[in-house]
Structure 1
Amino acid sequence: MSTSLELVPAARGDLAALVPRIQAAFAIAVVESSGETLRGPIPSDSEVWESFDDPDSHVLHVVAEGRRIGGAVVGIRPETQHNSLDLFFIDPEFHDRRYGRRAWQAIEERYPLTQVWETMTPHFETRNIHFYVNVCGFRIVEFYHPGHPDPHEPPPSSAPGPEGSGRSDDDLMFRFEKTLRPNG
């Protein structure tokens, strides 16, 4: 039997409670990959609020059987229909139940005019890489690293990172795209 799943727009008053849930879901892979305790939330509070406050953002709850089990922040650009999945999570206690797959399908259905979806994930997030490529049909189209930095991010600080690069592992990111309709 299939559990009902829906996307419900988040109200402004919901956002403060959503931040720690996003951070808890994202922290799992960081801790697993590094074996270290986090020095601060990932993504940071300011990064999450910046995504919420973007005028193109739609913040959605993923709801199954009346219970909020995850969420998404999508950037919808009607003029280009080149949209982005900025944040996406399923609460850890609901992992491995196919909710992520069904939530992504619901997002695609909610925005049927989308021509291209774009998202990013850190290089160590093998679970996300599998999900985006093998489950959702995205393609890896770019890999950001110190020799090829993300043009949308600020330049590296002068503080040394690994091997004195001034960059950290946070700068090693895959960019994915899923083309649904050709332009025009």
Structure 2
Amino acid sequence: MTLTFAEAGEQDIPDLTRVMTRAFDDESRTYRGLDKGGPEGYDNGDFFRQWMLGYDETTGYTILLDGEVVGGLIVWIIPGGHNHLGAIFVDPAVQDRGIGTQAWQFVERTYPGAKSWRLETPAWSLKNHAFYERKCGFTKIDETDSPDGVMFVYRKIIHPD
């Protein structure tokens, strides 16, 4: 099993969208009892066009297992080092193999100057909470309301100011 990461571009959007759709729909079925569910544009590529390609501060990556796209992530690199993890997802067919944890370790290695990382995830997404807290070392710091429902806000301090 060889896991690699590659910077993503427009050409990767179809593969990333297929994987994101499977991952988000699986979470929606598991925790909400709905067949489909995710942020706007998650299932047609618009999510990546907006959040991965739409801002200078963002960089997207494909997660490849033996050369096949099995996940992705988007990071926002903010001046001052207080960065944002915009998305991280792994195909349900290969979850629980440490791929998400290795993806987070890749982020930390790739951006060693980060002072902190922040992210938001739906309150109902229990597996995400366990992953961010237990596997990645994040701490829940807040709850916010969004059009998609209550979101939990997490933060991980790498280097205190």
Give the TM-score of the pair, scaled to structure 2.
Answer: 0.88
Which of 32, 36, 39 is equivalent to 2:34?
36
Q: Which residue matches 1:171?
A: 149
Structure with higher strand content = 2
Measured after TM superposition, the shift of residue 43 of structure 1 is 2.0
**What 5-or-longer segments of structure 2 have no aligned partner?**
none
**What 5-or-longer segments of structure 1 have no aligned partner?**
151-167
Q: Which moved more, 1:120-129 or 1:28-37?
A: 28-37
Q: What is the aligned-residue identity percentage?
A: 27
Contact 2:71 2:89 in 1 (8 A): yes
User: Pairwise mapping of residues 17-32 of structure 1 onto structure 2 (< 5 A)?
Assistant: 17-32=15-30
Q: In 2, Cα distance between the equivalents of 1:140 and 1:14?
A: 32
Count of residues in Structure 1 that have an aligned counterpart in Structure 2: 156
Q: Partner of 2:80: helix, strand, or coil?
A: coil
Confirm whether residue 181 of structure 1 aligns to residue 159 of structure 2: yes
Q: In 2, Cα distance between the equivalents of 1:131 and 1:34?
A: 18
Aligned residues: CA RMSD:
1.7
Q: Higher Cα Rg: structure 1 or 2?
A: 1
Q: In 2, Cα distance between the equivalents of 1:20 and 1:43?
A: 14
Q: Partner of 2:34: helix, strand, or coil?
A: coil
User: Pairwise mapping of residues 54-65 of structure 1 onto structure 2 (< 5 A)?
Assistant: 54-65=55-66
Q: In 2, Cα distance between the equivalents of 1:48 and 1:63?
A: 17
Alignment deviations for residues 72-113 of structure 1 (CA, whole Å, 9 cap, x no partner)? 011112x21111111111111111111111111111101111
Contact 2:59 2:76 in 1 (8 A): yes
Amino acid at match of 1:8: A
Contact 1:116 1:181 in 2 (8 A): yes
Give the TM-score of the pair, scaled to structure 1.
Answer: 0.78
Q: Partner of 2:140: helix, strand, or coil?
A: strand
Q: Partner of 1:137: helix, strand, or coil?
A: coil
